[in-house]
Amino acid sequence: MSKKLRPVLIGTLGAASVAALVITTPAFSSAAPAPLAPAVASVLAAGDLAAPAKKEIAMKLVSSAENSSLDWKAQYKYIEDIGDGRGYTAGIIGFCSGTGDMLELVEAYTNSVPGNPLAKYLPALRKVNGTDSHAGLGSAFESAWKQAAATTAFQTAQNNERDRVYFNPSVNQGKSDGLSTLGQFIYYDAIVMHGPGESSDSFGGIRKTAMKKAKTPAQGGNETTYLKAFLDARKVIMKQEEAHADTSRVDTAQLKFLNEGNFDLHTPLKWKVYGDSYTIN
């Protein structure tokens, strides 16, 4: 949710693919098959965070950290300035008026529903993009956001932008890296907070830092070792900014699941964020 200002969007993420690895595996014969190499076995066993039940879990996990609630669908109408220099933060993924993703959302929404309550604020959103300014927005814009959020059309627009910019790229990259459902979620939560991009404090930069310390499963590495390197690299970035300095969403949630070996995010899930306890049965 709290992306850095003006993140550079990732294009096609990763070149490795499960299919390429599957093709190279030996054909089965009447004899007992040779065991798969660790890298191949890891990728073949990778989960799918995009499966409906797992995606629902992912939405709840992120909402617990971003909104102190498991009711992520209640966040369509959420909007406030949290004082992090990114202007307004709003909606199910924390679209920010200062980072470009809120502007892209309202543009996409307006393309689908031209007469929507937010359309008239597009000029103001373009002007404040890259800043924390509320010029031309203010309380009237907040009311318009909440009005729009009551409609199926704007809820759908939020879902689509979440998936296009954050969820699909992170899950696809996780699968290319041979990561489990948990690993894919760890990528998703990171891209939500830090934004897509290749700078050192974006998702791509954090991944590059981790890969200097450990190999991904697709490269033949151990997933636990790699994910711990990724989370360590992420925590360094989180601690550089006061708004993100509390790393409990990593320490008492993601690392907890990793240490428990819960790679498929099976329920029940129990975790804490900012000292608050949550459970998904």
The structure tokens listed for 191 are 């891209």
Among candidate residues 66, 81, 101, 223, the one labeled active-site is: 66
Q: How far from 191 is each of 1, 3, 69, 268, 273, CA to CA, in Å?
A: 8, 8, 20, 25, 18
First to last CA, the chain: 25
Q: Which of 71, 80, 84, 201 is catalytic?
A: 84
Tokens of 139: 């309380």
Locate tokens 């990561």: which residue? Answer: 179
Query: Rounded to 5 degrees, what angle do the CA atoms 118, 120, 124 make?
Result: 95
Does 189 qualify as catalytic in the annotation? no
Known catalytic residue at 66: yes
Catalytic residue ranges: 66, 84
